[in-house]
Amino acid sequence: MTKRLCAVLLVLSAPLTACSGSAEVSGISDGETKTATGVLLDVDAESIDQVEGFILKVGDETYDVLIADDVEYEFPLGHLQEHLQDALPVTVEMENREGVLYALSVDDA
């Protein structure tokens, strides 16, 4: 009976803790930006010109980064596929927006 009660309380409290306070993602607080250089582990794309996001590996850290609709990137996002295939590093400025990382800029490193 006690284990069941603990499980129910844990399930019920999870949504409350997820919504309270500022959302921190990989050491980046909500509203903060971080610039990091690393290699791509994956690129999420509908086509070569429609990149939706990518996974960036920086040392022991990985960042799931989305492409922001409100940013005009100077870097051709289709070029990320080449960086992925050849393990070429990129430098990414990213911003935590309510617990989700968005790329503000992407550059060759």
How does pLDDT run across 1-56, given as a tens digit for each residue? 444 434 434 444 444 444 444 578 888 999 999 999 999 999 999 988 899 999 99
Q: Is 34 helix (H, G, I), strand (E, B) or coil?
A: strand
Which phi and psi angles does 31 have, rounded to 5°? 85, -15
> pLDDT for 44-95, tens place per residue?
999 888 999 999 999 999 999 999 999 999 999 999 999 999 999 999 999 9
Q: What residue spans define the domains of the chain? A: 22-108
Is 22-108 a CATH 2.40.50.140 domain? yes
